């Protein structure tokens, strides 16, 4: 209880100082365009994850600058301290070495295999033998998939590219977050089937670079995230994109 009261008092002091004229810090958010989670537009960044970050920034008294880069580049920037925040990441031992994972987590996201109509049946991991599976560079899917050395992967810089390869018959399937698959199919008009095997989602997180010059803001950010979760605002934001 005392810890929560102290954190809340710290947030109040921050808001008071900002109101008195102190410049609020600006943190750089990096990531790829991945609707409905991350959507980059000419003058704005939206989508479920970015809406959560904007709500978090308002509560924490900070400003955000959004920069669109491929996932692998975004992770490299976070490792080097060239960016401050990413959102929607799975937790892995490698990433934990250079990222702080904010708690509580965001909702899990199921993954699905897309195939061409009449394509291979995928009901379990063993069905992937002899198939070439399209994935996006820098993305993590599940421990079983990430650590499967024998899995034949075709790596693309975006899911849109991977789906074009699938449509052209260059690969057998694409592994992709289900909500993102639904969005891309709806937007592009491409026709694909979902294989039966569903890879159950794992918790996703907002992360802060351990090399960020703003790393001291971690307690403030986590307290603001707790408030967002307990208020029900995160759930309400998710409903915008269903």
Co-location of 128 and 80 in the same domain: no
Structural domain count of the chain: 2
Element (H, E) at 134: strand 132-136
Distance of alpha carbon 153 from alpha carbon 37, whole angstroms:
24
Q: What distance in Å separates the CA atoms of residue 24 and residue 38, rounded to the nearest whole number?
A: 24
Statement to judge: residues 189 and 79 lie in one domain:
no
pLDDT tens digits, 50-97:
999 999 999 999 999 999 999 999 999 999 999 999 999 999 999 999
What pLDDT does residue 42 have? 87
- 84 lies in the same domain as 122: no
Cis amide leading into 36 (omega within 30): yes
Residues 187-208: tens digit of each pLDDT = 888 899 999 999 999 999 999 9
**Contact present, 95 and 79 (Cβ < 8 Å):** no
Task: Specify whether 119 is located in the same domain as 166.
Answer: yes
Asked whether the beta carbons of 60 and 14 are under 8 A apart, the reply is: yes
CA distance 168 to 166: 5
More confident residue, 107 or 242: 107
Residue 172 and residue 145 in one domain: yes
Give the per-residue pLDDT at 188: 86
**Residue 89 sits in the same domain as residue 139:** no
Contact assessment for residue 150 and residue 88, using Cβ atoms and an 8 Å cutoff: no
Give the per-residue pLDDT at 43: 85
76 shares its domain with 95: yes
> Please, which pLDDT band fits residue 19 given cuts at 50, 70 and 90?
very low
Q: Are residues 23 and 89 located together in one domain of the fold? A: yes
- What's the confidence (pLDDT) of residue 3? 42
3-state class (DSSP) for residue 84: coil
Domain ranges, residue 226: 2-107+203-239
Q: Which of 8-12, 27-31, 155-159, 173-177 has the lowest mean pLDDT?
A: 8-12
**Cα(159)–Cα(176) distance, integer angstroms:** 7
Report the alpha-carbon angle 34-71-49, nearest 5.
40
Q: Are residues 158 and 38 in the same domain?
A: no
Find the mean pLDDT for residues 109-132: 97
pLDDT score at 2 = 38
103 lies in the same domain as 218: yes
Q: What is the pLDDT of residue 22?
A: 66
């Amino acid at each position: 209880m005392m810890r929560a009261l102290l954190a809340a008092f710290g947030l109040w002091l921050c808001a008071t100082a900002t109101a008195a004229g102190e410049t609020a810090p600006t943190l750089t958010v990096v990531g790829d365009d991945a609707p409905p989670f991350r959507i980059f537009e000419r003058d704005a960044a939206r989508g479920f994850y970015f809406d959560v970050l904007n709500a978090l920034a308002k509560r924490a008294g900070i400003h955000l600058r959004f920069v669109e880069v491929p996932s692998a580049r975004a992770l490299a920037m976070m490792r080097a301290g060239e960016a401050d925040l990413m959102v929607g990441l799975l937790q892995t031992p490698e990433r934990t070495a250079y990222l702080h994972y904010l708690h509580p987590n965001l909702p899990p996201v199921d993954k699905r295999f897309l195939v061409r109509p009449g394509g291979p049946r995928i009901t379990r991991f063993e069905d992937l033998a002899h198939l070439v599976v399209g994935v996006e560079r820098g993305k993590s899917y599940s421990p079983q998939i990430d650590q499967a050395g024998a899995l034949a992967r075709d790596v693309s810089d975006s899911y849109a590219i991977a789906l074009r390869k699938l449509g052209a018959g260059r690969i057998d399937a694409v592994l992709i977050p289900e909500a993102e698959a639904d969005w891309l199919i709806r937007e592009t008009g491409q026709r694909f089937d979902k294989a039966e095997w569903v890879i159950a989602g794992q918790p996703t997180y907002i992360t802060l670079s351990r090399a960020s010059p703003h790393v001291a803001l971690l307690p403030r950010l986590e307290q603001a995230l707790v408030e967002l979760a307990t208020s029900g605002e995160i759930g309400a934001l998710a409903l915008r994109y269903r």
